């Protein structure tokens, strides 16, 4: 894995996505997953190809977690009769950002 000036920016969305995912797990009292999410960006200090694979897998799973959480929260909002469209737009956007962050790391892997 060769980190150059042109592909260094691809790490920023991945780190941000993992930190936001850590906040999500913290809010749901899932301490182990929170620590794991917040600690995963430290793998970027290890310059081995397998670190990118682990980060991509974590981001892919994080994106799936965002979708599941969004669907659960939509059902809760519908059940209590509250507005759910804004929640869906925001959280599906976060899921998409997390997924895009995973795909941006392909750029680093190919070089």
CA atoms within 13 A on the CB side of 68: 7
pTM value?
Answer: 0.87
pLDDT, tens digit (0-9, with 9 covering 90-100), for 73-99: 999 999 999 999 999 999 999 999 999
Asked whether residue 111 carries a pLDDT value surpassing 70, the answer given is no
The residue count for the chain: 111
């Amino acid at each position: 894995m060769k980190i150059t000036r042109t592909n260094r920016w691809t790490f920023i969305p991945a780190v941000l996505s993992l930190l936001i995912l850590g906040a999500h797990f913290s809010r749901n009292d899932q301490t182990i997953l929170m620590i794991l999410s917040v600690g995963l960006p430290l793998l970027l200090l290890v310059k081995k190809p397998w670190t990118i694979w682990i980060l991509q897998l974590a981001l892919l799973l994080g994106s799936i977690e965002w979708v599941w959480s969004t669907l659960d929260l939509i059902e809760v909002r519908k059940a209590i009769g509250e507005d759910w469209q804004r929640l869906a737009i925001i959280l599906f956007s976060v899921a998409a950002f997390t997924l895009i962050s995973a795909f941006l790391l392909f750029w680093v892997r190919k070089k």
